[in-house]
Amino acid sequence: MIGYISDNLLLPILDFFYGLVPSYGLAIIALTVVIRLALFPLSAGSIRSARRMRIAQPVMQKRQAEIKSRYASNPQKQQEELGKLMKEFGSPLAGCLPLLVQMPILFALFATLRGSPFADVPYTLNLKVLPADQIAAVEIKPFNSASHSIFITETSHVPVVASLEGGTKLGIGDSAQVNLHTKDGQPFSSVLEGVENGSKYTPSWRVSKGEGVVRVSESGLIEAIAPGDATVEASVPGLAARSGFLFIKALGQVGFYTDGAINWDIAILVGAFGASLFISQILSGSGMPPNPQQSTANKITPVMITGMFLFFPLPAGVLLYMVVANIFQALQTFLLSREALPENLQDILNQQLAQQTVAVAATAGGSERLPFEPKGKK
């Protein structure tokens, strides 16, 4: 499903924007904004639900405890009253459904930006080499990898599959040719014949695991040497993997620290991601009574996630998408935090804010007394 959405929805949109503005960096930004606008109703539902639950949760918890205590001996009545409570305030799970619905599209967008043209496309084949007397008893099952859309020009891409006709189990001394081909069976090499500088998209091959078990030639011919497990990888260069955008040196560049040097463009993108996430979380609590636990989480979570992405291998193009998506999310949260609430929730919020004001005033008044003074004196 994710591959279908990527091939039939996201890549055509990407092609369209690249045709308008020949910049893959701008195309990523435009694609992100379009998808976020399309998902606005779903994500807005999640934001609204979270906002309402944050207000209603203290009241709901109190009334749930009262209902369970009052009708402890009558489970049917208890469930009936709890149902009325959910109907009044809404279910805490109501905000999860919109998130689940949009997940396939977001995963497809993420997968699109991690592949061609923004990054080199890998094909991984996990092999098992068996002794000659065991391989004869193995049932032959042809292997086909997942399909990846490979860009061969700025606006032309073809779905390519890696296959092994004899499967991934080989006998010692056997050889097997890995075939890269389109879904209709056309060899990838023949697709490149009509492309200007098509040779630069010729895949490179390597044994990433089990070098003493198999070896692979430049044409993708695998030879089994010794029994054991092995992994062979083919990598097809991404058209824009080494293209820059603004301060980004290469959209396909991966890693904050590589070859003994800091990639400051990656560091800036990760920092911008953390800052935008922090702002979005602060805005989500705008106009709400302070919650110490939530406030602490809002401070710690962006730091933890930002630190993780400093060393998580994501291409710069994906990080660019994440920054733009977070900025859009922060703007959306800002707008929705100013929406009028249902009357019952607005009353609860007014009471919470009033209680907060009284508590702050009492704390401030108490701080003016000397430690040894009675409460009645100023």
Contacts with 133 (C-beta within 8 Å, 6 or more apart), sequence order:
none
CB 167 within 8 A of CB 129: no
Q: Contact, 155 vs 19, CB < 8 A?
A: yes
Q: How does pLDDT run across 41-84, given as a tens digit for each residue? A: 777 777 777 777 777 777 777 776 777 777 777 777 777 777 77
Instruction: Work out the number of other CB atoms within 10 angstroms of the CB of residue 319.
Output: 24
Instruction: Mean pLDDT check: name the lowest of 64-68, 88-92, 174-178, 226-230.
Output: 88-92
What value does the mean pLDDT take over residues 109-118? 76
Q: How confident is the model at residue 32 (pLDDT cuts 50, 70, 90)?
A: confident
Using CA atoms, how far apart are residues 374 and 378, in angstroms rounded to an integer?
9
Residue 165's alpha-carbon distances to 93, 140, 168, 227, 376, in angstroms, are 47, 8, 9, 20, 91
Q: Lowest-confidence range among 89-93, 243-247, 254-258?
A: 89-93
Tens-place pLDDT, residues 162-193: 888 888 888 888 888 888 888 888 888 888 88
**235 or 114, greater pLDDT:** 235
**pLDDT of 357 over the 70 cut:** no
Average pLDDT, the chain: 76
Spatial separation of the C-alpha atoms in residues 345 and 19, rounded to whole Å: 48
Instruction: Provide CB contacts within 8 A for 181, sequence distance 6+.
Output: 160, 161, 163, 187, 188
Find which of 22-31, 69-78, 286-295, 364-373 is predicted with most confidence, using mean pLDDT: 22-31
Return the pLDDT at 375: 52
For residue range 267-295, list pLDDT tens digits in order.
788 888 888 878 877 776 665 665 555 56
Under the banding of pLDDT at 50, 70 and 90, the label for residue 355 is low
pLDDT of amino acid 378: 44
Structure tokens, 225 = 């040497």
* φ/ψ (deg, to 5) at 185: 95, 0
pLDDT for 185: 82
Q: What is the pLDDT of residue 344?
A: 65
Find out whether 225 and 172 touch, Cβ atoms under 8 Å.
Answer: yes
Gap between the Cα atoms of 271 and 327, Å rounded? 13
- For 314-347, write each residue's pLDDT tens digit: 777 788 888 888 888 888 887 777 766 666 666 6
Beta-strand runs (E) in 98-255: 121-130, 143-144, 148-153, 156-164, 169-171, 175-177, 179-182, 204-209, 214-216, 221-224, 228-236
Residue 138's CB: how many other CB atoms inside 10 A?
Answer: 14
Model confidence pLDDT, tens digit, residues 117-171: 877 888 888 888 888 778 777 777 888 888 888 888 777 888 888 888 888 888 8
Q: Is 324 helix (H, G, I), strand (E, B) or coil?
A: helix
pTM of whole model > 0.75? Answer: no
Q: Are 158 and 152 in contact (CB under 8 A)?
A: yes
Cα distance between residue 8 and residue 234, in whole Å: 25
Mean pLDDT of 255-259: 67
| E strand or H helix that includes residue 172 | none
Query: Given this model, what pLDDT does residue 346 score?
Result: 63
Run of H or E including 257? strand 257-258
The C-alpha atoms of residue 272 and residue 326 are separated, in whole angstroms, by 9
